[in-house]
Structure 1
Amino acid sequence: MGTGRTGYAEQRVLGYSAEQMYDLVANVKDYQLFVPWCSRSKVLLCCGEVMRAELEVGFPPLVERYVSEIHLSTRQIQAVCKDCRLFRHLETLWRFGPGLPGQQDTCSLDFSISFEFRSVLHSQLASLFLNEVVKQMVSAFEGRAGKLFGPQAAVLPPRCQQATRCA
């Protein structure tokens, strides 16, 4: 019996280039170093723009291992769970676009995740703290970028085109 799909989406402008963020997200083998609740991340196969990786996630005693198929394309990374007892469906999508005009060291991030647990218990637990978990996950990538690339470039609002007051 299905428990229903749940999803979350977030958009941000980051003070890192799209290339930096793309490379960070594509480096699945390092997830175990910084992604919350990920205790193991291993690339099993990498063939062109497709990668298979095994991830171990959770917190004791609820720890699960699953395999994701990851599709790498220009400025987009999509991961789909292919082998899992925990999820009926799990898909994440990262899209990186240009940042603010005139600010080359910025990018836009569109992140979304959708999933459906096999277990009603897992669904109920996730509903209690889903938004916080996903926010922490996105923030973990942002924090990792800071360690690898240094402080973010200042993300400044666009300047007014004329000498009129900005709203």
Structure 2
Amino acid sequence: MASLKNFVRLINFKATETEKQHFARKLVGFSSEEMFNVVADVKHYDQFVPFCTRSTIHSESADNLRATLDIGFPPIIESYTSNVTLIKPKLVRAVCSDGKLFHYLENTWRFSSGLKSNPRSCIIDFYICFRFKSLIHSQIALFFFDNLVNKMEKAFIEEAERRYGRATVPIHPLEVVKT
């Protein structure tokens, strides 16, 4: 029944549904600096981010980088280039700059202090908003968006655990504060 409902949803797909947004806020058992280091490590995304098959850095400074990511699974691989702003250890913000795959894409990670009693904890505010140029990509995103976003968030936490050891507290979802 669920697949029939999704099929009907696909048939009735409207242009206003081509934009996808996701907000999440979580308390995690890693410091802001640890999480920043993982998210800012764009050069190694192809090693731990789901469906990222290649990550290429074109230019890099202490507070900015320009990178191209290849996303997908063979034989369907798409690439896009983003300008990434880095404010250590508080923010990683990527904005698509090439315009081939997306009308726009923004991905923002904000890191703030977690529990006062645990300096190795932080609050992550995660936001992603995009609109594909292709209706086909938009339709695929409609079906898989929530699952893909959850896998992506989980991949960054798992990479932090691989690099820094076990989390000091379990992941705790928090109420999203949109600013």
TM-score, length-scaled by structure 1: 0.88
Shift of residue 50 of structure 1?
A: 1.3
Alignment of structure 1 residues 123-142 onto 2, 5 Å: 123-142=138-157
| Cα separation, partners in 2 of 1:118 and 1:83, compared to 1, 3 Å | same
CA distance in 1, matches of 2:171, 2:83: 36
CA distance in 1, matches of 2:81, 2:136: 22
Q: Deviations over 1:102-153 (max 9, x none)?
A: 1111000000100000011111111001001000000000000111000000
Tell whether 2:103 aligns with 1:76.
Answer: no
Alignment identity in percent?
36
Shift of residue 66 of structure 1?
Answer: 1.2
Aligned residue number for residue 160 of structure 1: none
Larger radius of gyration: 1
Where does residue 11 of structure 2 map in the other structure? none
Residues 38 and 84 of structure 1: CA distance in aligned 2, closer, same or farther (over 3 Å): farther
Q: How does 1:16-165 map to 2 (within 5 A)?
A: 16-74=30-88, 75-155=90-170
Q: Stretches of 4+ moved more than 3 A in 1?
A: 1-4
**TM-score, normalised to structure 2's length?**
0.83
**Corresponding residue pairs, total:** 157
Unaligned stretches of 5+ residues in structure 2 = 1-14, 173-179
**Deviation of 1:9 (Å):** 1.0
